[in-house]
Each structure stands twice: as structure tokens, then as C-alpha cells.
Amino acid sequence: MTTTTLRDAVALTDRPTRPSALGTTLTFGWRALLKIKHVPEQLFDVLVSPVIFTLMFTYLFGGALAGSTQAYVQFLLPGILVQTILFVTIYTGYTLNNDISKGVFDRFRSLPIWRPSPVVGALLGDTVRYTIASVITIALGLLLGFRPEGGLAGVVLGVLLLLVFAFALSWTFIILGLLVRSPNAVMGISMLVLMPLTFASNVFVDPATMPSGLRAFVEVNPVSHLVTAERSMMAGEPDSAAILWVLVASVVLTGVLGPIAMRIYRTKT
Amino acid sequence: MSDSLAVEARGLVKHFTSRKTVTKAVDGIDLSIGEGSVFGLLGPNGAGKTTVVRMLATLLRPDAGTASVLGHDVVHDADAVRSAVGLTGQYASVDEDLTGTENLIMLARLYGFTPAASRRRVQGLLEAFDLADAGSRQVKTYSGGMHRRIDLAASLVLAPRVLFLDEPTTGLDPRSRNQVWDIVRVLVDDGATVLLTTQYLDEADQLADRIAVVDHGRTIAEGTSSELKRSVGEGAVHLRVAEVTDRTRAAEITERVLGTEVTYDSDPHAIAARVPDDGADAVPRLLPALTDAGIAVPEFTLGQPSLDEVFLALTGQPLPDDEEPAPERDTRPRETSEVPR
């Protein structure tokens, strides 16, 4: 390290102009992709859990619940897809919390950029995770005999709707990531919330046989509405009420939680 | 050093409340840092140094008081402050999962450099910071010194006019510490203003033009290094005579010349004497006086009081020992923060 090279390296004649909000957001999206490249282990959960769940439920319960595994996988797969993606949203909060505890977060907050861009960019990067998880789950389903009547269009639109909801739901975990002390606590709390929400729903079984109290819960459970919407789209008979419900819920979640999250982000000590 | 102020703070206050106990992290601090100078905030852990830096870097909103950086208010004109300031410290790190190059490219892109300009800028910085070979490795594989250099490089991507360095050498080995010091000196030579927090006395002494000693969120003394030292006296003479039998005579001569009392060391050859406030002129006469009396004096030192003594005199408690061997790997005490999260 010599004095002159240091001088030359630091000296700056042409100061850049301030980048656009889109530019900085995309840069943070690029960062999220780099993290997936350098830490591929973080995809392990994303890859393995849908495979295990799909295989386990199809073969353990398929015959008993629906008469055959073939029949059950038609019912189960859209539900498993929802469960998988919902669990992947936890990583948003986990990653953000990691940035805070590692001190990267303060570096970003000290930059002259559009303030939400680190968070929104991370959400963009998460799309890659959602897409990988969706592709794996659906591919496995097809292998096991899943034959969606809605065809390619139904499946793709179903996945898109799921992504919209996943982005909206992510704000919950961003808030959690900002408030909770450690990345592992984010994981723990999120699991505690998502486990009952996904199991006490219509993901695995038709709620018709459930006791009335539980059925009442399942019917108001947002996950059930989402699963109903997904099933209908993939079956080629879109349930417009359920789809509308998911879209409205997404808008409300984003409209309410987004500003709250950004407020906490700005005033975070 | 010009007359205009790079950083100005008046009555900064930040209190943290956790479980109903209020911690007065910063309790009314004033700062005036001239452009092109190095200002040291010296104090033990928990004195409030980091909280001051975080407020000046727009990461924390002051509860009371005002602060501006290059004339921009840190609350109302935060983006202008962010464009002018580089920050390195316990709380502004780089992404350890990414490589050194990727980290710097990302920052360059966030500051608005084009892809080509980003690559040129980053290549130059990596070479200057002796990290060109390590650029393609993940930062988590770096040694403590390398980690601190990439942190520094990250804060210099936009060539900031004001640099905040929060404990830049904590946990570094002496060689890495010297490298960081050299970098800071070059930057200041080129006109940057540096605000440095440290718990190391020699660091403040070596780098800072002015030093504020902070304790419990307040400034307890401020001045140049020598002003602070003068506030506890002019220093002390330590001498060692060749023959033990000469010690009493040497003490008598010293007392006469300096007009001050002599203390006897546990070493039977050695004596020490505080130089009185107006006695600095007498010191050069002492050694000839001893030699004329036929006393051989193989060791004669005049030491200014250390900042440690300054701190002791000001607060009644010594600073933490800074001579512990520094670990090679980066073990920065992120958890022992002075800011409750």
C-alpha cells in the first residue's frame, strides 16, 4: 500500500449523479442473488421441505383420504405449494435481521438512496427463491400424477397470484425482522405463527369433517382462501370470489404493513 | 485546517429507555470540528461515543439539540449529509457473504456510478488497500486487518469529505493498526475531515488534532493533546544514577534545580520528579547540574503525562488497559454495544 496509489484511488473527479429508486432497488435485488450464489445452503430448506411434505402426505394419507394417491395429489398439490411459499417468506425477515445484527443494515441506511430500496430489493431477490420452490413442487407433483385441468396457463397464473400474496405477507416478517433480537428468534416466532395457520386450513383435508369450532377457524383462515383460489385456478375453474379475496388481502397487507415497516426501518435505533 | 466547520453539534441528547430504566447515552454534547482536521472522541466503553457518531451519520435521531455536517442539518437535510459522509465502524460493516469486490461494486452502483465506472473505481480502491488478490474471496474469510481495510474502502467509495471512524482499530494487531493510521493520515492530508472515536489513548494522541474526553454521555474535557496533558501538569523527569550511593545527592540537586519534591522509586538507582507548572525552563539545566556534581546519570527521560493520567485526573478512574494483545482474527465486540437495540 503506497501513499500515491491510495491518493489516486480515493480522489474522485467525476461525482456520479444520484441513482433512481429503481436502480438502487435492482442493485439490492442483485445482492440477494449473489447471496444465493455464495450461500446455496439457504436454498436447502426451500428445496427439501416441499419434496418431503409432498411425498409424505401423498403416500401416507393419499389412499386413506381420497381413495388413491393419484386422486389425493390433485387436491393436495396446490395446498402444498401455498404452504411451501408461505414458509419461504420467513427468509425475508431472517435475512433482514441478519443484516441488522451484522452491521450491514446501518451501512445501507447511511447511504443517500431511496430508503425502502434495501427492503424492496430483497423482496425482488426473494422471487428467485419462490420461483425455484414453485417449480420443484409442481414438477414433483407432475411426476406423482398431478394433472391440472387449468393447464399451463392455470398453473402459471396460480403461481403469480401466490407471489403477489407472498410479497404482501413478507411485510409481516420484515416488521418481525426489524423488531426481534436475533435471526433465529425470527425463525422461531414465524414458524409458531405459520404452523397452525397452514395445518388448520384446507391445505391437507376438506374441512367438512372437522368439528364446528375448528371448521369456523379454517373458514376464516386466510390460508384457506388462498388455497381455494389456487385450486380453482389450477383446476381451470377460477373461483373469482376467492381470487378477489386474495388480491384485496394483498393490497390491504401491503398498504397497512408496508408503511409501518418503513417507519420502524427509518426510526430503528 | 480552515476556519469553517465540517461538523457542528449543540446540546446533543439521546436517551434510551429499556425496561423502564433510562440510559442517558448522550447527555448534552457540543462539538465543533474544523474542516480538514481530525477530531478524537476519547472515552471508555459505554461513554456514548458510538451514539454521537450514529446521530451525526443520520442513523439515530437526536432527542434534543442540533447537529450539522458541512452545513447540512442531520435531521432535516439527512440525504445531503449522507452524500457527504463516509462511515466505518462497529455498526457499518460490509456483507460477509459477498466477496470484497462485490461489496464495493454494490456500493458504487448504489452511489450512482455506471457499471464501467464502478469497476474502475473498485479496482483502484482494492489495489490501494492491498486487497486486489483477496477481492474475489468472501469477506468472511478475511483476517481482522483485511476486514477493517475493506470496511474503510467501502466508506471511501464516494470520496467523502467527512469520515466517521467508530473505533477503527479496536481488536487489530499493531501492524494492522498502523496501516489504518497511515490511511487516515493520507486522507486528512488530502483535505478530509475525520471524526474518530477510540478508547485507545495513543490513537487519539497520534491522529487527532483535537480531543474531547467523554464519559457518561458528557464531554469532561476538550483540547489539543498537549493542552489536555498540560491540564495535569508539565510531565515528569525520570532519572537513574549509576551508583546507588549517589541517589540522595542527585535528589537534593533535582529538588533545588526544579523546585519540586522528588519521589523515590522502588529501584534504588532511580528517582522521579513532577515538573511544576512554571518549571519547564529549569529542566534543561538539571542534567548539567548533576554532571558537574560528579554524578553519572546513564538514564534521563522527560515524559509528558500520558492521556491515561489525564483521564485519571479528570474522572478519577483509569481508562481500560489498551495493551492487551490483539487477536489476529476479527473479534469485534458487536454484542457488547453501548447502544441497546
pLDDT, tens digit, for every residue of A88-129? 888 888 889 988 888 898 899 889 999 889 999 998 888 888
- Cβ of B190 within 8 Å of Cβ of A11? The answer is yes
Based on the fold, state whether residues B155 and B300 are members of the same structural domain.
no
Q: Residues in chain A with pLDDT < 50?
A: none
In what helix (H) or strand (E) does residue B164 lie, and over which residues does it extend?
A: strand B162-166
B13 within some domain: yes
Based on the fold, state whether residues B211 and B294 are members of the same structural domain.
no
Q: Quote the CA–CA distance of B210 and A61 in Å, as a whole number.
A: 75
> Quick one: DSSP state of residue A200?
T
What ranges do the domains of chain A cover? 21-267
Residue B130 in 3-state DSSP? Answer: coil
pLDDT in the model for residue B44? 83
In what helix (H) or strand (E) does residue A253 lie, and over which residues does it extend?
A: helix A240-267
Based on the fold, state whether residues B143 and B158 are members of the same structural domain.
yes
CA-nearest of B128, B156, B161 to A6 is B128
CA-nearest of B56, B89, B51 to B75 is B56
- The verdict on A4 touching B (C-beta cutoff 8 Å) is no
User: Is residue A111 a contact partner of residue B111, using CB atoms and an 8 Å limit?
Assistant: yes
Contacts of A9 (CB under 8 A, 6+ apart): B124, B125, B127, B128, B129
| Residue B112 Cα, gap to closest chain A Cα (Å) | 5
- The verdict on A7 touching B (C-beta cutoff 8 Å) is yes
Of B93, B128, B339, the CB nearest to A6: B128
Contacts of A123 (CB under 8 A, 6+ apart): A92, A167, A170
Torsion angle of the four alpha carbons B135, B136, B137, B142, in this order, in degrees rounded to the nearest 10: 0
For an interface test with A, the pick among B13, B88, B111, B336 (most A C-beta atoms closer than 10 Å) comes out as: B111
B219 within some domain: yes
User: Is residue B298 a contact partner of residue B238, using CB atoms and an 8 Å limit?
Assistant: no
Looking at B201, B230, B259, the residue that finishes a domain is B230
Based on the fold, state whether residues B271 and B158 are members of the same structural domain.
no
State which residues form the domain around B169: 5-230
Handedness of CA A210, A211, A216, A217 (dihedral sign): negative
ipTM of the shown complex: 0.86
Q: Residues in chain B with pLDDT < 70?
A: 1-3, 91, 232-234, 305-308, 317-341
B253 within some domain: yes
B205 within some domain: yes
> Quick one: DSSP state of residue B63?
S
Q: Quote the CA–CA distance of B30 and A257 in Å, as a whole number.
A: 38
Task: Mark which residues 94-113 of B lie under 8 Å from A by CB.
Answer: 94-99, 102, 106-107, 109-113
B120 within some domain: yes
B333 within some domain: no
Please give the residue of chain B at the shortest CA–CA distance from A101.
B334
Helix H segments across B94-173?
100-110, 115-128, 144-155
- Cβ of A10 within 8 Å of Cβ of B102? The answer is no
Based on the fold, state whether residues B98 and B127 are members of the same structural domain.
yes
As for how many domains chain B has, the answer is: 2
Looking at B230, B246, B265, the residue that finishes a domain is B230
Based on the fold, state whether residues B183 and B80 are members of the same structural domain.
yes
pLDDT in the model for residue B74? 94
- The verdict on A41 touching B (C-beta cutoff 8 Å) is no
Question: Strand locations in A66-220, DSSP E?
Answer: none
pTM equals 0.81
Based on the fold, state whether residues B253 and B223 are members of the same structural domain.
no
Based on the fold, state whether residues B264 and B189 are members of the same structural domain.
no
| Residue A21 Cα, gap to closest chain B Cα (Å) | 10
> Quick one: DSSP state of residue A180?
S
| Residue A36 Cα, gap to closest chain B Cα (Å) | 9
Looking at B209, B230, B251, the residue that finishes a domain is B230
Q: Quote the CA–CA distance of B26 and B16 in Å, as a whole number.
A: 9
Based on the fold, state whether residues B258 and B135 are members of the same structural domain.
no
pLDDT in the model for residue B230? 74
- Bridge partners of residue B195, in order along the sequence: B39, B164
pLDDT in the model for residue B91? 67
Based on the fold, state whether residues B57 and B152 are members of the same structural domain.
yes
For an interface test with B, the pick among A2, A6, A35 (most B C-beta atoms closer than 10 Å) comes out as: A6
Based on the fold, state whether residues B107 and B251 are members of the same structural domain.
no
Residue B318 in 3-state DSSP? Answer: coil
B319 within some domain: no
Of A5, A101, A113, the CB nearest to B127: A5
pLDDT in the model for residue B331? 36
CATH of the domain at B135: 3.40.50.300
In what helix (H) or strand (E) does residue B213 lie, and over which residues does it extend?
A: strand B210-215
Based on the fold, state whether residues B185 and B40 are members of the same structural domain.
yes
B41 within some domain: yes
Contacts of A241 (CB under 8 A, 6+ apart): none
